[in-house]
A and B are shown apart, each in its own frame.
Chain A
C-alpha cells in the first residue's frame, strides 16, 4: 500500500520494457504524475533522451527514436495522437494510457494507424498524483459538493482517479460512504457501477477484500481551517502551498527558478521530517546544518596532496547535494518562522485548538475578544491577520452554532465587511451540524465525554498546538476495533469479512494533518491494518475558504 511505489513501478515497467532510445511524451497531468515520483536524471538512465508535451505542435521528426506516450485517455489526447499517427514522427509508437480506454477511442487510433506504426497499446493505471507514501490527490480543487460547478465537469475524472488508485494498489474493495452526504453516495454508486463493468480487471488472486471508504469534507470542516504545526502541512499553509511537490516562496515569487522542490522520494531529510512538528523540526535542522558544517570543514581547507584532491573530487557531488538540501530547508524554516512571528500565529493557533478540542466557552470567548483587538491577555500588542480572525470566528460558529448571531455582530463591530461575514452563513449551510455525519466536536454522549475528560486529565496534553485530532482519527480507531457504525457509514455492497486494507477518499480534499493521522494509524497497527488516504485535492485554509466561497455561485 504505497502509492509512490506503485506509480514508480508503472513507469519502470513502461520504460524498461522498451529497449533503445526513447522520447517520453506526456500530457499536462501525466507530466505532474511522473515528475512527482521520478527525477529527470533517473528517467535519463532508462534511455529516455527527450521529454515532450503532447500538445506541442511541430515537434521535430526523429525516426531513430521510439515514441513512448503516457497520457490520460481524454478526447483531446486521442486527437493529438491520431493527428500524429497520420504523419509519424517516431519509429514505433508505444501508447500507455493511464486509464481505461473506451472502444471508440481505440477504434479512432486504429483508423488513424494507416502505416502500422503503433507497436503497443496498454492501460497503466497511474492516474493520480502520489504525494507521500500514503497520500494521493487528484489536484482538482472546488469539489466540495455535488452541486458545485466544478463537480459536473470533473466527476468522471474523480471516478477514473479512484478506479486507477484501487487498481494500482491491487485492491478489490467493498465501498462504504458517509450516510448524510449525497455526494459520497453518488460517487460510491458510480464507482460500484464502474467496478462492476470492469470486472475482468479485478480478476487477480487476492483473498481479502479491502475497504474503500468515501468521506465528505463537510463532515469535518474544522481540520482544514486550523493552523498546522507539522513540517509538510506548515509549508502548505504558510509558504503559498505545495503544488506537485513544488513550493514557491512568497518572498521570491518573482523569480521562477527559485521554486523549491520537496519530494519525499528524493530528499531523505524531508522524508524523515515531514511529519515532525515545528519544535522538533528546529532541532533536526540544526543537526543538519551542523552535519553540513562538519563536512565543510573536513573537505575544504586542507588539500595538500594529490590524494586529498582525489578525495575532495569524489566527495564533491555529495557535498554539493547536502549543501543544497541544507540551504533549502533553512530558507524554508526562516520563511516560516518569520511568518509565525509576524502574524502572531502562536496565540491564534492556541485559541483555534482550544475551540476545536475543549468545550470551554466563556474562557475562549474572552481570549478571542482580546485577539480581535490585536492584543494578548496581558495587554501586549499582537498582529493578527483578518483572515485568522475570520477563521477563528468560523470555527467558533461551527462549534457554537446557536451563538453565531452574536459572533456576526462582534465581527461587524470590529469592521468586517458583509461579504466576509456571509462566509459564516455559507460554511454553516455547507457544513452545519445538520449536514454533518459523525461527531466532530467530541461525543454528544455523556459517558464518552466523561471518559475523554478523565483521559485528558490523566495524561495531560502533550502539545497544545497539536491536540486536535481530525474526525478521521476517530473513524479509523473505531474501525480498528470493529465499531464503525453501519448506519453512519453504510455499505454499498454486502461483505462478509473484515478488510485489513483501507483506502480512504475524501471528497472536497484531504489535508496533510489527516495524512499524518493515517501515518500514525499505520504505525500503530503495523501489519494489522494498512491505510491510504486520497483526496480530490490537498486543502489549506486559503484553498478551503476559496472553495466555500465558490460554492455560492
Chain B
C-alpha cells in the first residue's frame, strides 16, 4: 500500500498564501487566536521579546532614514535624539527581559532535556536578533556622527568662524552624557535654561540678549553647532553603553558556540561508533561464512565414513 501525505506541503502553501495576503493589506476574516492556556509562560515571554525586537528594528529603520538626511536646513535632530533615547531604552529593557527569560528556562528544570534544549535555542536566537538590532543601532549612530561632522564642516565654511562658542558651551556643561540624554527626553526637569530653550523653540532668539543683538545671524549658526556637539556626545555615550551590551551578548554567543561544538563532537562520535558496528558486523559475517564451509566439510567426511562403515562393515 502506497500513499502520500501532502499535509505538510499543504500547510506550507497555506502559510505563504496567508503571508502574501497580509502583505497586500488584505485583512483576514478571523485571525487565528490561540488560547492563552496552551502557551507556556516561557513561550509567551519569548513571543513578547521577539515582538519587541521587531518593533525596535522598525524604529531603527526610521532612524536610519533620518540619519541619512544630511540636508543642512531640514534638521530633525530633536526627533532623532528622542528616537535614539527610546531605542536605547528598548534595547536595555529587552536585554533585561532576555535575562529574565533565561532564568525562567533555568528555573523550570522539571521539563525534559528536549524542552530545555528548545528553550536554550530560543534564548540564543532572541539574543542573536537583539545583537543584530544593536549592531544596526550602532551603525546608525556612527553614520549620524559622520553626518553631523560633515554638517559642522559645512557650517564652518559658511560662517567662516571657528566654533569657539561650542567649546565655550562645552566647558560650561557639566552634565554627563547620560544625564544629557535623559534631559533631552523629559524637558520638564531640566535645570539648564539654555538647553531648555534650545529644545523648546528650536531657534534660539532669546539664547542670550547680548548675542542676539550683536550678531543675530552668527548666533543661529552657533546655536546649531552647540546642538550638534551635544548630539554627538549623546551618541558617543550611547555607543559606550552599547558596547557593554555587546560584550554581554558576546559571552552568550560564545557559550552557545560551546554547545554547538559539543553537538558536533557527539555526531562525530556516533559516526565512529556506527562505522565500528558495521565493521564488526562484516567481521561476524566473514566468521559465519567461513564456519559454514568448515561444518559442511566435516559433515561430508563424516557421511563418507558412515557410508563406508555401513557398506563394508555391516
Task: Using CB atoms and an 8 Å cutoff, list the residues of chain A in contact with chain B.
Answer: 6, 9-10, 13, 100-101, 106-107, 109-111, 113-116, 118-125, 167-168, 170, 201, 204
Residues from chain B with Cβ under 8 Å of A13 in the complex: 1, 3
Known A114-B28, A201-B4, A204-B2; further 11 A-B contacts with Cβ < 8 A? A9-B1, A106-B13, A111-B17, A115-B30, A116-B14, A118-B14, A120-B5, A123-B4, A123-B5, A125-B2, A168-B2
Q: How far is the CB of B26 from chain A (nearest CB, A)?
A: 10
Are the C-beta atoms of B17 and A110 separated by less than 8 Å? yes
Report the bound CA distance from A392 to B28 in whole Å.
Answer: 70
With both beta carbons as reference points, the residue of chain B lying nearest to A166 in the complex is identified as B2
B25-46 interface code vs A (CB 8 A; 1 in, 0 out)? 0001110100000000000000
Residues from chain B with Cβ under 8 Å of A9 in the complex: 1
Are the C-beta atoms of B2 and A110 separated by less than 8 Å? no
Residues from chain B with Cβ under 8 Å of A120 in the complex: 5, 7, 10
**22 cross-chain CB contacts under 8 A:** A100-B4, A101-B6, A106-B6, A106-B10, A107-B17, A110-B13, A110-B17, A115-B30, A118-B10, A120-B5, A121-B5, A121-B6, A121-B9, A122-B4, A122-B5, A122-B7, A123-B3, A123-B4, A125-B2, A125-B3, A168-B2, A204-B2
Report the bound CA distance from A116 to B31 in whole Å.
Answer: 10
With both beta carbons as reference points, the residue of chain A lying nearest to B14 in the complex is identified as A110
Residues from chain A with Cβ under 8 Å of B2 in the complex: 125, 167-168, 170, 201, 204
Residues from chain B with Cβ under 8 Å of A201 in the complex: 2, 4
Interface of B is mostly: mixed
Are the C-beta atoms of A10 and B4 separated by less than 8 Å? no
Q: How far is the CB of B7 from chain A (nearest CB, A)?
A: 4
Are the C-beta atoms of A124 and B3 separated by less than 8 Å? yes
Residues from chain B with Cβ under 8 Å of A123 in the complex: 3-6
Are the C-beta atoms of B10 and A110 separated by less than 8 Å? yes
Report the bound CA distance from A168 to B17 in whole Å.
Answer: 33
Q: How far is the CB of A110 from chain B (nearest CB, A)?
A: 4
Q: How far is the CB of A260 from chain B (nearest CB, A)?
A: 31
**Chain B: interface residue total (CB-CB under 8 A):** 16
Are the C-beta atoms of B1 and A116 separated by less than 8 Å? no
Q: How far is the CB of B71 from chain A (nearest CB, A)?
A: 46
Report the bound CA distance from A119 to B6 in whole Å.
Answer: 11
Residues from chain A with Cβ under 8 Å of B10 in the complex: 106, 109-110, 118, 120-121
Q: How far is the CB of B18 from chain A (nearest CB, A)?
A: 8
Are the C-beta atoms of B29 and A122 separated by less than 8 Å? no
Report the bound CA distance from A107 to B17 in whole Å.
Answer: 9
Are the C-beta atoms of B9 and A106 separated by less than 8 Å? yes
Knowing A110-B13, A113-B14, the reply to whether A121 touches B1 (Cβ < 8 A) is no
With both beta carbons as reference points, the residue of chain A lying nearest to B20 in the complex is identified as A111
Q: How far is the CB of B171 from chain A (nearest CB, A)?
A: 66
Q: Which of A6, A100, A110, A122 contacts B1 (CB 8 A)?
A: A6
Residues from chain B with Cβ under 8 Å of A121 in the complex: 5-7, 9-10
**The 3 nearest A-B residue pairs measured at CB:** A110-B13, A110-B14, A123-B4
Q: Which of B6, B17, B28, B32 contacts A122 (CB 8 A)?
A: B6
With both beta carbons as reference points, the residue of chain B lying nearest to A122 in the complex is identified as B5
Q: Which of B5, B17, B29 contacts A115 (CB 8 A)?
A: B29
Report the bound CA distance from A136 to B4 in whole Å.
Answer: 22
Q: How far is the CB of A71 from chain B (nearest CB, A)?
A: 14
Report the bound CA distance from A167 to B28 in whole Å.
Answer: 40
Are the C-beta atoms of B13 and A107 separated by less than 8 Å? yes
Residues from chain A with Cβ under 8 Å of B7 in the complex: 119-122
Q: How far is the CB of B5 from chain A (nearest CB, A)?
A: 5
Report the bound CA distance from A443 to B169 in whole Å.
Answer: 118
Residues from chain B with Cβ under 8 Å of A116 in the complex: 14, 32
Report the bound CA distance from A101 to B29 in whole Å.
Answer: 27
Residues from chain B with Cβ under 8 Å of A113 in the complex: 14
Residues from chain B with Cβ under 8 Å of A125 in the complex: 2-3
Residues from chain A with Cβ under 8 Å of B32 in the complex: 116
Report the bound CA distance from A204 to B13 in whole Å.
Answer: 26
Q: How far is the CB of A202 from chain B (nearest CB, A)?
A: 8
Residues from chain A with Cβ under 8 Å of B6 in the complex: 101, 106, 121-123
Report the bound CA distance from A125 to B3 in whole Å.
Answer: 6
Residues from chain B with Cβ under 8 Å of A122 in the complex: 3-7
Q: How far is the CB of B2 from chain A (nearest CB, A)?
A: 4
Q: How far is the CB of A72 from chain B (nearest CB, A)?
A: 15
B166-209 interface code vs A (CB 8 A; 1 in, 0 out)? 00000000000000000000000000000000000000000000
Report the bound CA distance from A41 to B186 in whole Å.
Answer: 78
Report the bound CA distance from A534 to B17 in whole Å.
Answer: 41
